[in-house]
A and B are shown apart, each in its own frame.
Chain A
Amino acid sequence: MFTATPLNRRSYRNQSLAKAVFFLMTVVLVIPVLLIVGTLVVKGAPAISWEFLFTAPTDNMTAGGIFPALVGTIWLVVVALLASVPVGVAAALYLSEYAPDNLLTRTINLAIINLAGVPSIVHALFGFGAFVLFFRMGQSILAASLTLAIMTLPVVIVATRESLQAVPQAFREACWNMGATRWQTIRKVVLPNSISGILTGVILEVSRTAGETAPIMFTGAAMFVPFLPESVFDQTMAMSYHLYNVATQLTDVPEELTFGVALVLIAIVLMMNAVSIGFRVYLRGMKKW
């Protein structure tokens, strides 16, 4: 009764063909990630040692380690987070808990998309014009971190807004019915139920911030600083800018060392990403509603 007609057979063949082709396209897209990480590991691993991680570069940066760059990246990321997380969470709270559906809200959303879409080098120009010159911060960790903070603000806002909106509306209504104000509801019900989702977004932001180069090139990163930064007003080396320098600005840098720098940078970034992804998967399993 259900024998396939030629038409049926052809459409089923099309279906399997489509599936195979789309699968192949996906594979072509993601294979390079594995190749790149693999090559960096193979070529960079011989350079990695405790000494490499914990000593400063020597011989005009053609030998020695990366310690000042590692420390500098930590400074930049921490200061950027201190600036962007409070603002980002506030923005997400406004959009998720307060904002009416009006022109202002649409404008805010458009601004967030644009903030994420503006080229990183334009953020660098802004950081230079605004923080370094206008606010007289000079080329410093502060100026570079604030530039990074504005650039990565959309990451925090979007992740936080998503996890706030995942809290069921009934939770809020129950709280309001007990006579709680909007803010009490947010503090006692909404935030505790979404804090882990917010953290996921923050970790993702760490990964983004650590890898950025263009925004810090002119605002606070230096090619070589013989000492570790002592305050936010110092210039600093950074992993990403260090990779740019050893790869393009300097000659006679042994290949192994350059690959080592790239490996450490990508390891930091991917580890942070893995933590963020793992966290998210774990949370999904924990979900009570």
Chain B
Amino acid sequence: MAWYVDRAARVLVFVGGISAIVFIIGIFVFITKEGLDFVLGPLSLGEFFTSIAWRPTSNNPTYGALALIVGTASVTGFAMLFSVPLSLGAALFIAEFATGRTRETLKILVEMLAAIPSVVWGFVGMSIMNPLIIQVFDVPLGLGVLNAGLILGLMAAPIMTTIAEDALKAVPDTYREAAEALGATRWEVIVKVVIPASRNGLLAAVLLGVGRGFGETMAVLMASGHAINLPTSVFDSVRALTATIASELGDTVTGGAHWGSLFTLGILLFVVTFLINLTADIVVRGIRKK
């Protein structure tokens, strides 16, 4: 009897185990299925990647996604510019310097940062940051690369900090002790021993942060200004790939070309995040092998 229960449990648990694979394949299959008619039909790859004319609702629709790609890239890039150093610095402080209460408090605050929902971030961008940017920089509109980038940087920081901290913690203490025994200060230990030893983990942390920023939807939709535009300054409004899907899907005809074009943007987002995560995974596996 116990043996049968054991077999049944084994099968059930296995089904649960492979569910993640089933779901990830399911996601790809379903968005591809809905986007396929558009990809095989009206899509012209040349136009898609080189034109900034995203006019899916005009009588003569054009589907140039360049401005959306540049929008996503500029906001994510600006975010990473300050978020990567800050997050890695925070991870170094939490892992190598902080002790006891300070450490716990900082970790909890980082977790709180991660907990704030993206729609609240977007709301903060609109209602707090927007007037602030207008006032400080004396510009007509505070919704743009700067606003969305700052918010995205803060949103991506917790995942980078947490994973980088894990990577630093994974460096065996014997390495640090050996270096300290040779007379190295904590700073020298960090620069010459800990960082080189955890390089791959830190790189993976940055990659996952980029992925997080790249895929963020609501906050970018609300804080970026949502205007189709190739930005020339950080105050310019831009429009992101994710935000375009969120704002337009509700107004489309199911199965139509516009509908299919949004699913095609979804395929692009899926493939890029998949590649980012795959790279991060390979990079991390690299250190484990050594």
Contacts and interface: CB of A to CB of B under 8 A. Distances in A.
A154 B23 CA distance: 11
Contacts of A262: 120, 123
A14 B187 CA distance: 7
A201 B108 CA distance: 15
* B contact residues, range: 35 or more
Interface in A64-88: 86-88
Interface string B47-89: 0000000000000000000000000000000000000011101
Q: Is the interface of A mostly helix, strand, loop or mixed?
A: helix
Given A123-B27, A133-B254, A184 B249 contact: no
Interface in B1-16: 2-3, 5-6, 9-10, 12-16
A184 B122 CA distance: 49
30 contacts: A19-B97, A25-B90, A26-B89, A26-B93, A26-B94, A29-B86, A29-B90, A30-B110, A30-B113, A32-B154, A36-B128, A39-B128, A40-B120, A86-B16, A87-B16, A90-B13, A91-B19, A94-B14, A107-B21, A111-B21, A117-B274, A120-B218, A122-B31, A125-B31, A125-B262, A181-B2, A213-B118, A217-B249, A218-B250, A247-B127
Contacts of B161: 29
A250 interface: no
A14 B5 contact: no
Contacts of A184: 2, 5-6
Nearest to B30: A129
A244 interface: yes
Interface of B: 2-3, 5-6, 9-10, 12-21, 23-24, 26-27, 30-31, 33-34, 85-87, 89-90, 92-94, 96-98, 104, 106, 108-113, 115-120, 122-124, 126-128, 154, 157, 161, 185-188, 190, 208, 211-212, 214-218, 222, 242, 245-246, 249-250, 254, 262-263, 266, 269-270, 273-274, 276-278, 280-281
Interface string A83-119: 0001111110111011100001001111111110111
Interface string A4-41: 00000001101101110111011011101110110110
